[in-house]
Amino acid sequence: MNLKPNCFVLFLVAIFFLMGNCTNYSTTASVQAPPTLISITNNGNSNFTIKVRAQNPEFIFQGYRLYQAATESLAQNPTDTNLGTDCILAQAAIVQPVEYTFEVDPSTNANTVGVSCRIFATLTPGSYISMRTLGLAVNLQNSTSSYRVSLPSNALIVP
């Protein structure tokens, strides 16, 4: 009698049983680390380059949201955190801090070589910008999902 196939079937039954009866999951949302803005450069023609240092080790990481306002406080703490401009990055298992290069441009041109993501927005010189990390939030009770934003980054003045 060969016990290996029987043990494998028993193992699968145990896994399905445990998965079906598991009710101990966390309802606390995961907290994403905010990015650090390093610099912003005006490239001309309403085109800006932003250097960002960030660490995004979690699988729920989706990208970043850029905010612009007249004051540093409003850029970091907008009245509605859904009103920023998103940059969704390709999923990657990043554990170490990474330096990203973002291009902010209102045109629909393709990314410049070396740019991590293009943010389709218009920045106003003299205004302030900040960013937040986007994480995927899934509500298991009603099967909906949305983005959850991190705390704000530092703010920079648009040159």
List domains and CATH numbers for the chain. Answer: 36-157 (2.60.40)
pTM recorded for the entire structure? 0.77
CB half-sphere exposure, 116, CA atoms < 13 A: 20
Structure-model confidence comparison of residues 2 and 34, the more confident one: 34
Give the best-scoring range by mean pLDDT among 52-61, 92-101, 112-121: 112-121
Q: Which amino acid is located at 34 in the chain?
A: P
Identify the band that residue 84 occupies on the pLDDT scale cut at 50, 70 and 90: very high
- Contact by Cβ (8 Å): 122, 128: no
Identify the band that residue 149 occupies on the pLDDT scale cut at 50, 70 and 90: confident
Q: What 3-state class would DSSP assign to 99?
A: strand
Contacts of 111 (CB under 8 A, 6+ apart): 103, 117, 118
